[in-house]
Chain A
Amino acid sequence: MQDPTFLILLALSDRPRHGYGILLEAKELSGGTIRIGPGTLYGALERLEEAGHIELDREEIEDGRPRRYYRLTRRGRGVLVEETQRRDALVGLAKQRLAHR
C-alpha cells in the first residue's frame, strides 16, 4: 500500500469525512510532509470503494453542490490494521539494523 492510500484510510479511521476533509486530515497526520492531490485522492477513493474498504456514509447539499462523506468499512479497518502492523514491523527491523552499527 502506498503512502497516500494509507493516509486516506487513516484519515477515515476516527470519523466519516468528505474529500476536502480527507485532504486536510492527511496533511495534518503527515505533519505536512505528504500532500495528496485531488486526482490522486479520487483515484484512490474509487479503488477503495470498489474493494469495499470504504463506503458512502451520507450526502449533504452545501451551496447547491452535493457533499459526500465516506466511512471506513469493517474490511477497510482490517486492512488498515494489517498495513500498520506491516509498517511497524519494517520500522522495527530498520531500528535493529541501525542500532547494530
Chain B
Amino acid sequence: MKLFSRMSDIARSPGDPVVITPGPSVKPAADQMARGLGWFSLALGAFELAAPRTITRFLGMEGHENLIRAYGAREIAAGMTSLSTEKELGLWSRVFGDALDIATLMAACRYSNPKRENVALALAVVVGITLLDLGSANAQTMTHSRRKGRHRDYSDRSGFPGGAIMARGKALERQRSETTGAIR
C-alpha cells in the first residue's frame, strides 16, 4: 500500500502533503479474514465454473457437471459479497454454501462410488472450512453489529437553546423583519 501511495503522489501538486510514514491499519481481524475467504471463494468458484469435469472425475460424480457449475456461481457470489461492505452476509452465505457442499458430498459418499476415499477427503476439507467460515461469520457479526437494546436517548438534544416550540418559524420571522427594515 505504501508503494501505491508513493505512486499516487504524481497526481499531487508540490505543496500537497505526502505520506512519510503510514500509520497502523486498524482493520479488525474479522475483516481481514473475510477478505481472505472472499478471495478464496472467487478462486474456487472460478475453478468450479471452468473445470467442473476435473472435480466430478475426482469425486466420482460424473454427469453432475452442471451442479458443480452452479456451485461455482454460488461461490463467486459469496466471494464478491464477502469482499464488499456486506461481509457479514457474504460469510453467512458461505456457511450456507458449506452446508450444501457437505450434503452433496454425503450423498456421493456411498459404497458404490469407486472414488469414495476422495469424497471422504473432500468432506474432511469442507468440514474444516465450514468451521473456519462459522468462526469468521460469528466474528464479523460480533465486530460490526450494534448491540441491540443498548442505545442512548438524545431526547434532551433539541439544538434550540429556547426550545423547539419557540424556534418554529423564527428564521422566517427574522427574514421578514429584515426585509421590512430594509424597505423602510
Q: Do A and B bind each other?
A: no
* Chain A residues within 8 Å of B, Cβ to Cβ: none
* Chain B residues within 8 Å of A, Cβ to Cβ: none
